[in-house]
Chains A and B, each alone.
Chain A
């Protein structure tokens, strides 16, 4: 499917609460918004959080969260600044514990396996659950090609496969046309948006099951943002995506499901994106999405 292809607007005559983002704007097809069957190229795994509590030293930053991220779908996490969205997501690929004094308690299920359990190899977890960061961070001393291969090199990729994998990853990130003539130039020579797509290519190259995105577009301009949102629509055919965003319009555009968190690391509500923005169950959710606070 062509990321730039247009799709029909959702047809609804229900009134929309004033102030809520208009979910009837043209969006790419997604499983929960239209009647068409979702396109799945590779069955990804789902992630389920059970009783997740995350601490920085003695401070509780994420409070008793039960949350499911269904396979091959995009789930957005929204909420005011500092409410613990990033912290929660960083627990999923066990990056949270890299901070001195930080720990996460609870179960983090990747399908049937608790990746937060004893005896689980953190390195393997991060191989399977990838991450795209807020600020694009290609390795500065490496070329575009080497950046894409960085993760693969850890497990040994054969030289003849390397070129194929690089092309595949860059195509998958929508960067091939722009980068194919400069594969050996430094990764940091690209523009911000291109760098972020390079990071996505790098993450996808190791073929993870889940990709976590921590405000991936907040450092980018609107056009670059749009390109990445289109990319996300493509990526969910092969991976499960969790995206943290402070931009509600973005959540409305790309996410199948949306979870709303409040300050203190509390999960207020989760559900299909359209419902969260048009007819949420919790009053606090409604106040947030209509802009009354946050």
Chain B
């Protein structure tokens, strides 16, 4: 054979471009992880110090001097309001999802609803707060201006499109053959939908709902206008209530070391709660895939 090289040489320029590009991609990916690391680091280093038995069992005192108290009312308030929001949002959200999948594949009306549900996912949470504020708070509905349940409504508005959207995806995954098999046995439509389709889709629906709950827990803006701030623990949803995000927001603005530390502790608590919810959601989803 000839003495010339058998393979062509690939120019150095191309090799260098390739290495450079790959290096840049890797570098940027590492950069993306830096904030995560920093946040976790600071949350832990500044937040853990605030954690104590008292921290979780005493209410904020709201006093300028002296002890500041813990975040008991905030945690309880968050749990109460999010629970109510969930009770409102999940049935409606899943109901709309069922409608869209089972009855709304071809109708114009359903297409419009679907579009607006999508629109709702993009609405800033503060706007939902404003919605509830202008309609319910100002009017003093229910005998009080600011109230826990109004905050729950704002949160429910927030959760609704997320639950519907993820629910729609999950319900659509249920194979058509399953529906047809049940219908062919003479089962009424509504029974097929509830007992066959929804039952099959439950893990996915639960996952979507839990993720929506996780999001609602962390929201501050909607609560600003609907629940305001208060220090004491209350179980009356018709009153003002405290909540974790609001508590943190409040404390951040104060030039007081104790309060700042409390804010970090509360932030850590909030993040841990959200992570637990997300983890549970993932586990449910993963389990259902192996069943």
Contacts and interface: CB of A to CB of B under 8 A. Distances in A.
Interface of A: 45, 110-113, 115, 120-121, 123-125, 127-128, 154-156
Interface in B8-57: 8-11, 14
A155 B7 contact: no
B12 to A, nearest CB: 12
Interface on chain A toward B: helix, strand, loop, or mixed SS? mixed
Contact of A125 (B1, B7, B11, B14): B7
12 contacts: A45-B6, A110-B6, A110-B7, A112-B1, A113-B6, A121-B10, A125-B7, A127-B7, A127-B8, A128-B6, A128-B7, A155-B14
Contact of A128 (B8, B11, B14): B8
Contact of B1 (A111, A124, A127): A111
Contacts of A113: 6-7
B202 to A, nearest CB: 34
B4 to A, nearest CB: 11
A10 B14 CA distance: 50
Interface on chain B toward A: helix, strand, loop, or mixed SS? loop
A204 to B, nearest CB: 15
Contacts of A125: 7
A189 B11 CA distance: 34
B11 A155 contact: yes
The interface centre, meaning the residue of A112, A115, A121 with most chain B CB atoms within 10 A of its CB, is A121
Interface string B89-100: 000000000000
A68 to B, nearest CB: 15
The interface centre, meaning the residue of B1, B8, B11, B14 with most chain A CB atoms within 10 A of its CB, is B8
Given A111-B1, A112-B1, A124 B9 contact: yes
Nearest to B6: A113
B155 to A, nearest CB: 44
A112 B3 CA distance: 11
B1 A120 contact: no
Contacts of B14: 123, 154-155
A265 to B, nearest CB: 27
Contacts of B10: 121, 123-124, 127
A271 B6 CA distance: 27
B6 A111 contact: yes
A93 to B, nearest CB: 12
Nearest to A206: B8
B1 A115 contact: no
Nearest to A128: B7
A113 B1 CA distance: 11
A178 B184 CA distance: 54
Nearest to A122: B10
A120 B8 CA distance: 11
A156 B6 CA distance: 20
A155 B1 CA distance: 25
Contacts of B1: 45, 111-112
A110 B6 CA distance: 8
Contacts of A128: 6-8
Nearest to A127: B8
B8 A112 contact: no
A71 to B, nearest CB: 10
A228 to B, nearest CB: 27
Given A124-B7, A124-B9, A155-B11, 4 more contacts: A111-B1, A124-B10, A125-B7, A154-B14
Contacts of A120: 7
Contacts of A111: 1, 6
Nearest to B18: A123
Contacts of A154: 14
7 closest cross-chain pairs (CB), A and B: A124-B7, A113-B6, A111-B1, A123-B10, A124-B10, A127-B8, A124-B8
Contacts of A155: 11, 14
Nearest to A123: B10
B271 to A, nearest CB: 35
A110 B7 CA distance: 9
Nearest to B7: A124
Contacts of A110: 6-7
Contacts of A156: 11
Nearest to B11: A155
Contacts of A124: 7-10
A121 B6 contact: no
A127 B11 CA distance: 12
A156 B9 CA distance: 13
A127 B7 CA distance: 8
B277 to A, nearest CB: 34
Nearest to A124: B7
Contacts of A112: 1, 6
Nearest to B1: A111
A126 to B, nearest CB: 10
Contacts of A45: 1, 6
A155 B17 CA distance: 12
B156 to A, nearest CB: 44
Nearest to B13: A156
A270 B210 CA distance: 63
Nearest to A120: B7
A171 B274 CA distance: 64
Contacts of A123: 10, 14
